[in-house]
Amino acid sequence: MKNNSAHPALFLLFNHRLTAAQEGDAYASLGITRIVSPPADITKLWADIPPDAEAVAPALAPIREWLVAEATPGDFVLVQGDFGASFVMVNAAFRLGLIPVYATTVRQAVEQHLPDGTVEISHIFSHVRFRRYEQG
């Protein structure tokens, strides 16, 4: 791992693009200087965690290797995705001296009553903040 915690970065393990609000909040609240998206192979691996695998940790080795090679202790890692894979990577981040975080949102349900008598419900998610994962 690199050793330059004076300028923390935010590494993404996240299946979506950051919204403008999330990006702005990351710079403001986390004090980061850059956002690092994973290379294509890591992005694909994170998006396609094998659902039939007995264990996910072995499949995540390339992601851990990417963080070891690119991240610095004190950097942040946004970890959201498959629950089991997230658990493994949050623990790995702690072991590497990284700060795992997740995005919190507020959800608003919007109902639309359609002419045929059916109701369509959509949800609008708005970013609230980044929250650090806590060790129990």
Question: What per-residue confidence (pLDDT) applies to 136?
Answer: 80
Residue 85 lies in a domain: yes
Domain count, the chain: 1
Residue 4 lies in a domain: no
Question: What per-residue confidence (pLDDT) applies to 1?
Answer: 61
Question: What per-residue confidence (pLDDT) applies to 3?
Answer: 54
- Domain span at 62: 9-132
Residue 25 lies in a domain: yes
Buried b or exposed e, range 64-101, using 16+ CB within 10 angstroms: bebbeeebbeebbbbbbebeebbebbbebbeebebbbb
pLDDT under 70 in the chain at which residues?
1-5
Give tens-digit pLDDT for 2-14: 655 578 999 999 9
Q: What is the pTM of this model?
A: 0.86
